[in-house]
């Protein structure tokens, strides 16, 4: 699986780590995506808190099948149901 394939897939339920963000307090925060809108992810962090993060402000790292896949949030700023057609 590569970044393009993952960006077209369902992201809710996946573990994610923020590797770069315009808000430095988000750097290296990890958790599970529990909801998604066009512009945001709702992430349940490892300490049990729920936090909303704007997609276009961050780069995300997903660990899928032992591979680390990095996706720039600005590339997935679509409604979840539209990402299938629009991600390039």
Domain 3-86, CATH among 3.30.200.20, 3.40.50.10330, 3.20.20.100, 2.30.30.210:
2.30.30.210
Tokens for 88? 């390039």
Question: What is the C-alpha R_g of the chain?
Answer: 12
CB 77 within 8 A of CB 55: yes
> Across all residues in the chain, what is the average pLDDT?
91
Torsion of Cα atoms, 82 then 51 then 19 then 29, to 10°: -150
Residue 30 confidence (pLDDT) above 90:
yes
CA distances from 10 to 25, 36, 50, 56 (A): 26, 10, 19, 18
Residue 88 confidence (pLDDT) above 80:
no
CB 67 within 8 A of CB 77: no
Tell me, what's the pLDDT at 22?
95
- pTM of the entire predicted model: 0.88
């Amino acid at each position: 699986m590569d970044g393009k394939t993952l960006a077209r897939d369902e992201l809710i339920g996946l573990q994610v780590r923020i590797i770069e963000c315009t808000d430095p307090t988000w750097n290296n925060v990890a958790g599970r995506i529990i909801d998604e809108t066009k512009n945001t992810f709702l992430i349940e962090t490892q300490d049990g808190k729920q936090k909303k993060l704007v997609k276009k402000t961050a780069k995300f790292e997903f660990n899928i099948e032992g591979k680390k896949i990095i996706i720039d949030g600005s590339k997935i700023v679509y409604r979840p149901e539209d990402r299938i057609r629009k991600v390039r």
